[in-house]
Amino acid sequence: MKKLGQHLLAEFTGCDTTTLNSLDKIKSILIEAARQSGATIVNSVFHHYNPHGLSGVVVIAESHMSIHTWPEYGYAAVDFFTCGERVDPWKACHYMKEHLGSSDMQTREILRGLPGGKDEVLPHKPAAQPSEKREVA
């Protein structure tokens, strides 16, 4: 595989239910987790569901980090998708575990990229290629 990125899928259980239902806390925790990983934050959006639960995404220059919470189960599903070698998604993951008050964390790591060929890491942001000029009919 020609690796472009690393994708961690994390299941956090036994979390603090008040935290999982607080928009301000979840936003602050996910943004700080991105910072802890060394990511460059571009933007973020969060939504609080009725009667409870949250979803949010932090767009980073190196991809994204997202969360979905189920306070009624003390559960949060979090994705850490990063590209390049500079960002460490495991730092974000461990930060989240601690600040969600999670008693257990299960993770899966998936390498993302182009299948086939020899194993190698592709540059995150290679130099732009000149675009081909197209004639418009």
Is 3.30.2290.10 the CATH classification of the domain at 2-116?
A: no
Look-up: residue for tokens 């020899």? 118
- Considering 37, 64, 83, 102, which one is annotated as catalytic? 83
Provide the percentage of residues in the chain whose pLDDT is more than 90.
Answer: 74
The CA-atom distances, in angstroms, between 40 and each of 1, 44, 67, 72, 91 are 26, 12, 18, 32, 14
Task: Give residue 100's pLDDT.
Answer: 98
Q: CB-hemisphere CA count at 13 Å for 81?
A: 12
- Considering 7, 48, 68, 124, which one is annotated as catalytic? 68
Q: Do 105 and 97 form a contact (C-beta atoms < 8 A)?
A: yes
Can 66 be counted among the known catalytic residues? Answer: no
pLDDT at residue 125 tops 70: no
Can 15 be counted among the known catalytic residues? Answer: no
Task: Give residue 93's pLDDT.
Answer: 97
- Considering 63, 64, 93, 99, which one is annotated as catalytic? 63
Can 63 be counted among the known catalytic residues? Answer: yes
Whole-model pTM over 0.75: yes
The CA-atom distances, in angstroms, between 136 and each of 10, 110, 130, 133 are 47, 41, 18, 10
